[in-house]
Amino acid sequence: MSLTQWLRILWARRLLVLLTLAGVLAGAAVIAWQRPYVYAGKTRIVIDLSKDPITGAVVAPRSFEMVIATQTALIQDPSVIERAARILGYLPANKPNPSDYAALTAERRLVTNLGNGLFVTNVPDSNLIDILAYTNSPEESKRFSEAVRQAYIELSVRQQRASAIGALSVMQDQMRRFLAQRTEASQRRAAFERRYNVVLHENGGNFDEDGLNQIANASDDQLRQMAKAGAASSAAARNAVVLSRIDAALATAQATLGPNHPQVQALVQQRAAAAAVAQAPIRAQNASMSVDTLMSHKVEQLLADRGILAEGRMLVNQEYIYDSLMRGLAARIVTTAQQANVSNGGVTPVGAPTAEFKPTAPNFTLIGVLAAVIGLILGVQIAIIVELLNRRVRGIEDLATFGVPMLTPGRQGEDREEAAVPELVAAA
C-alpha cells in the first residue's frame, strides 16, 4: 500500500485515533494526580582525604577517588539508614529481640523503603558529598537527610574509636614487652660495670678507650717507640688501673656493708698489697724485657680490652635500641589515643540541611508528553488493525491492490465514498 492509502485509512479512522489518545491522556492524568508529591531534602559533608574516616589510616593520594566512592556507598548502607530511622523515631531506640521475626521483617522493610528515597552524589573534582533524601514532605525530607548525615558521622566516629582502642591495646602490650627487655638490658649493663669496675658511656666505651684506640691505630714503628718509651710508665699505669678498680669496689662495699665488714677488711688488705707492688722498683724488670715482649704484652692487653669494649658497646646499643623503639611507640600511642577521642571521624558537616518546597515528582509535563506519544502510537495501531480486518472493496485502489482487471476506469479526483463502482463488462 502507498503512503496515500495509509493516510486515507488514518483519516477515515481519525475518530478512533483521537478517542484512543484521549483515553491514554485521561488515564495518565488520573494516575499522576493519585501519586503523592515528592520533595527533596539535601545536606552536605566534606571528607578529610588525609586519612580514612572509618579506620583513621593515612590515605595515599592515588586512593582519593576510591575513598570517596567507599564513603558514598557507606552512607547508603542499611546500618546508616537504620540508625537515621531510630534518630527520627521511625523505629524504636532499641533493636527488637532476634527471635521476633515479625518486628525484624517490618524494620527491614522500612529501611528498604527509606533507602529507595536516598541518593548520594559526589560534587565533581572535590571531596564534598551531597546527601539527597526524598519523602512526601519537605520538612521530613530535610530531617531525613540530616539524620542520615548524623548517623554516618556517628558510625565513622564509632568505628574509628573502636579501631584506635584495639590498636592501643596492642601497642600497650608491646610497650610493656619493650620495657621489660629494656630493664633486662640495663641489668646486664650494670652487671658488666660491676664486673670490670668501669662506667660505660653512651657510646659504649670506658675511660681507657681513647688510649686503646690510639694503640690500635698505631703502626708497628709507632708501637715499638711507645713500648720503648713507656716501659716503666706502662707498668705504673697498669698498677694505677688495678688500684682504681680496688678503690671503686672498696667505696661501694663501705657504703653498703660498713667499715668493719670482713669483705671490706679484705679489700683494704688487697689495696695495701697492690700499693706496695706499685711502689716497688720495676725498672730493672722492664729493662730486661725486650721490645718484642713489651709489644706482645701490649697486644694481649689490647685484644682483651677490645673484647670487653665490644661487649660493653653491645650492651649500650641494646639499651639505645630499646629506648628508640619505646620513643617511637610512645609517639604512635599518643597519635592513636587522639584518634580514640575524635569527635567527627574525619567527616565535617557543611551548612544546614535544606529542602525544596517545589515537588520533584510527579512531573506532569513529562507524563503528558509521554502519554500523548503513547496514545498516538496506540491509536494508529488500532486504526490500522481495524482497517485490515475490514475486507470490503471501497474503491478503485482496492481493486488495483487485488489485481482485478477493469475495462472502464473510474473518474479521477473523486473521494472513494462518492466514486461509482466501475461497470464491469463481461467478454462476449
CB-CB neighbours of 390 under 10 Å: 11
Strand, coil or helix: what is 404?
A: coil
Give pLDDT tens digits for 363-372: 888 888 999 9
pLDDT at residue 263, rounded to an integer: 74
Let me know: does 153 contact 349? Beta carbons within 8 Å.
Answer: yes
Give pLDDT tens digits for 125-157: 888 999 999 998 889 999 999 999 999 988 888
Burial 54-77 (b: 16+ CB within 10 A, else e): bbbeebeeeeeeebbeebbebbee
Report if residue 83 sits inside a domain. yes
Helix, strand, coil % in the chain, rounded to nearest 5: 65, 10, 25
Let me know: does 65 contact 57? Beta carbons within 8 Å.
Answer: no
pLDDT tops 50 at residue 109: yes
Same domain, 348 and 329: no
pLDDT at residue 247, rounded to an integer: 76
Task: Tell me the residue type at 281.
Answer: P
Report if residue 424 sits inside a domain. no
Same domain, 70 and 8: no
For residue 236 the three cell numbers come to: 705504673
Report if residue 22 sits inside a domain. yes
pLDDT tops 70 at residue 22: yes
Give pLDDT tens digits for 220-270: 555 555 555 544 444 555 566 566 667 767 777 777 667 777 777 877 887
Same domain, 18 and 47: no
pLDDT at residue 310, rounded to an integer: 73
Report if residue 403 sits inside a domain. no
pLDDT at residue 80, rounded to an integer: 92
pLDDT over 90 for what percent of the chain? 17
Let me know: does 132 contact 75? Beta carbons within 8 Å.
Answer: no
Report if residue 407 sits inside a domain. no
Give pLDDT tens digits for 146-189: 999 999 988 888 888 888 888 888 888 898 998 898 899 888 88
Angle between the N-to-C axes of helices 291-340 and 138-196, in degrees from 0 to 180, rounded to the nearest 10: 160
For residue 82 the three cell numbers come to: 537504620
Q: Over the chain, what is the mean pLDDT?
A: 75
How many domains are there within the chain?
3
Same domain, 98 and 78: yes
Same domain, 204 and 281: yes
Same domain, 196 and 327: yes
Same domain, 326 and 200: yes
**Distance of alpha carbon 292 from alpha carbon 287, whole angstroms:** 12
Report if residue 410 sits inside a domain. no
**Distance of alpha carbon 365 from alpha carbon 376, whole angstroms:** 17
For residue 344 the three cell numbers come to: 567527627
Give the domain CATH number at 114. 3.30.1890
Task: Tell me the residue type at 25.
Answer: L
pLDDT tops 80 at residue 47: yes
Same domain, 109 and 143: yes
pLDDT at residue 287, rounded to an integer: 45
Nearest to 115 by CA among 68, 161, 139, 151: 151
Same domain, 371 and 316: no
pLDDT tops 90 at residue 428: no
Same domain, 124 and 220: no
Q: Residue 132: beta bridge partners?
A: 42, 119
Question: Kindly report the CA angle at 314 between 187 and 251, in degrees rounded to 5?
Answer: 45
pLDDT at residue 53, rounded to an integer: 57
Report if residue 418 sits inside a domain. no
pLDDT tops 60 at residue 420: no
Report if residue 309 sits inside a domain. yes
Average pLDDT over residues 400-413: 56
pLDDT class of 305 with cuts at 50, 70, 90: low
pLDDT class of 425 with cuts at 50, 70, 90: very low
Same domain, 198 and 212: yes
| Residues recorded for the chain | 428
**Which residues span the domain enclosing 13?**
3-33+364-390
Same domain, 128 and 202: no
Q: Where are the alpha helices (DSSP H) in 258-290?
A: 262-279, 283-288
